[in-house]
Amino acid sequence: MELFEIQAVKQRFGIVGISSALNRAIDVAVQVANTDLSVLITGESGVGKENFPQIIHQYSHRKHNNYIAVNCGAIPEGTIDSELFGHEKGAFTSATADRKGYFEVADGGTIFLDEVGELPFPTQVRLLRVLETGEFMRVGSSKALKTNVRVVAATNMDMTEAIRNGRFREDLYYRLNAVPITVPPLRERKEDIVLLFRKFAADFAEKYRMPSIRLTEEAAQVLQDYYWKGNIRQLKNVTEQISVIESCRDINVEILNNYLPNQTVITLPALSSLSTAYRREKTFDSEREILYQVLFDMKKDINDLKQLVNSLTSKHPHDHADFASTDYGMDAKPFFTARNADNDLIELLTTSAPTKSKIAPDAHVEDTEEYVEESLSLEEAEKEIIIKALDRHRGKRKLAAQDLKISERTLYRKIKDYQLD
């Protein structure tokens, strides 16, 4: 699909952004629209998943028929079967008349099941039958009815985890996931953040009849570097708050920070055993940087342990000499492995550790001996890794960025920050 065609779709549905991941998601939605394949849209809460079912419906041959959006998480478990498939009079206490469900009303059209991962298990069985045979039964009826409905579903849930925990049927997942569409989170669309801010600022200026707010260059950079857990929805709320509250229409970093909550990053589950309380008042660009931070913290813990051992052997050289000279010293190979981590990082951690000191049983150890711990900062390590990546690819920044698993824009900024030009 040509870029100008994608731009036309964005204008039609009010989508703002230029990131390649967003363009890819729109392209897939338009390409699959004229088929009857089920589509599963995944993405974090607040990324704008609700736009894509409408794109699929409006570009399909069903566009002149009904489009019904259903929030599965908002319907009580006891009534959701009746809402989706209808019921017969007398099926339950409040069923005073026959009622058509959404699948019956949307016959020939499209039904959008938002938060499909929240469906109760019995309802999942009914939905699977609709997808496989096009048949369903009203609650309280034994008569099978037919429907011709295109199903588009969306979820912010990790479906593979839900299947593993027995919360979602695997066969239903594969029926819904005939065509997957992933909507990227806002932190992976950094080039779109300022564009969205300007769009929201203009909308709120018109709504509240006041001048539009503007970001300084430094504030725009802070906005781009923020993690945005709530994605577009959070950005919109922040923009509205600033528009309404601030009398100064030029927003600097100090003003902006008043509206950006501090965010805490917790260690990755796979590495939770390495640190019992790893929390930082810091925002990371990616899980890769979290891994780096964990590894460097491990390096510091090893140095602390060595300092303790050194102190003990200094006080009791005869009792601890054998321990200091065993094969369990700190020159042993690291006890962790990083399957996809850079070899450069592992080499940096292993070669920069202080070497083991073997103490002979009869050696005299001065109590005043000072233990010097090497200083190692995340910034210096990151700078060295960037230099190695650039050297490896002979200064080609695009290839270096791909190797480092970061965007070219982020790499350019770090090169500028570290003065590597």
pLDDT bin (cut points 50, 70, 90) of residue 303 is: confident
The pLDDT, as a whole number, for residue 292 is: 60
Name the residue ranges covered by the structural domains of the chain. 3-184, 187-257, 287-417
The answer to whether 259 and 241 are in contact (CB under 8 A) is yes
Average of pLDDT values for 370-385? 63
Q: What is the C-alpha to C-alpha distance for residues 360 and 91, in angstroms, rounded to an integer? A: 87
Q: What is the C-alpha to C-alpha distance for residues 17 and 138, in angstroms, rounded to an integer? A: 43
Q: What is the C-alpha to C-alpha distance for residues 384 and 382, in angstroms, rounded to an integer? A: 5
Query: Which of the following CATH numbers is that of domain 187-257: 1.10.3720.10, 1.10.10.10, 2.30.30.140, 1.10.8.60?
Result: 1.10.8.60
pLDDT in tens, 88-146: 999 988 899 999 999 999 999 999 999 999 999 999 999 999 999 999 999 999 999 99
pLDDT in tens, 105-116: 999 999 999 999
Q: What is the C-alpha to C-alpha distance for residues 331 and 243, in angstroms, rounded to an integer? A: 58
DSSP per-residue letters across 70-133 = EEGGGS-TTTHHHHHH-B-TTSSTT--S-B--HHHHTTTSEEEEETGGG--HHHHHHHHHHHHH
The pLDDT, as a whole number, for residue 141 is: 94
pLDDT bin (cut points 50, 70, 90) of residue 363 is: very low
pLDDT in tens, 199-223: 999 999 999 999 999 999 999 999 9
SS3 of 266, please?
A: strand
Residues in contact with 339: Cβ distance below 8 Å, sequence separation at least 6, in sequence order: none
**0.75 cut: is pTM over it?**
no
The pLDDT, as a whole number, for residue 324 is: 43
DSSP per-residue letters across 84-96 = HH-B-TTSSTT--
CATH 3.90.1170.30 applies to domain 3-184:
no
